[in-house]
Amino acid sequence: MRRKTFDALVSTGALVVVAVLIIAGALLSWGHSFADHNVRTQLVEQKISFPDKAGIVAQKDAEITKYVTPYAGQQVVNGQQAQVFANHYIGVHMRGIADGKTYSEVSGQYIALQASNPDDPNLATLAGQRQSLFMGETLRGMLLNAYAFWKLGQIAAIASLVSFIGAGVLLLLSALGFWHLRRVTPDAEVLSRLGARTPAPVEV
User: If pLDDT is split at 50, 70 and 90, which confidence band does 161 have?
Assistant: very high
Helices 122-183 + 3-46 axis angle, to 10: 160
73 pLDDT more than 70: yes
Check residue 164 and give its pLDDT: 93
Classified as helix, coil or strand, 1 is coil
Residue 82 CA, distance from chain mean position: 14
CA dist 64 → 43, 54, 97 (Å): 21, 12, 16
d(CA 88, CA 67): 6
pLDDT at 179 (0 to 100): 75
Give one DSSP letter per residue of 74-111, joined into a string.
Answer: -B--SHHHHHHHIIIIIHHHHHTTTTT--HHHHHHHHH
Residue 190 reports pLDDT greater than 60:
no
* 114 vs 188, more confident: 114
Q: How much is the pLDDT for 181?
A: 62
Domain count, the chain: 1
**Is residue 133 predicted with pLDDT exceeding 90?**
yes
* Domain assignment of residue 111, given as a range: 3-186
pLDDT digits over 91-114, tens only? 999 998 888 889 999 999 999 988
Are the C-beta atoms of 91 and 68 separated by less than 8 Å? Answer: no
Identify whether 104 is part of a domain: yes
* Residue 200 included in any domain: no
pLDDT above 90: residue 151: yes
Domain for residue 8, yes or no? yes
Q: What pLDDT shows up at residue 100?
A: 86
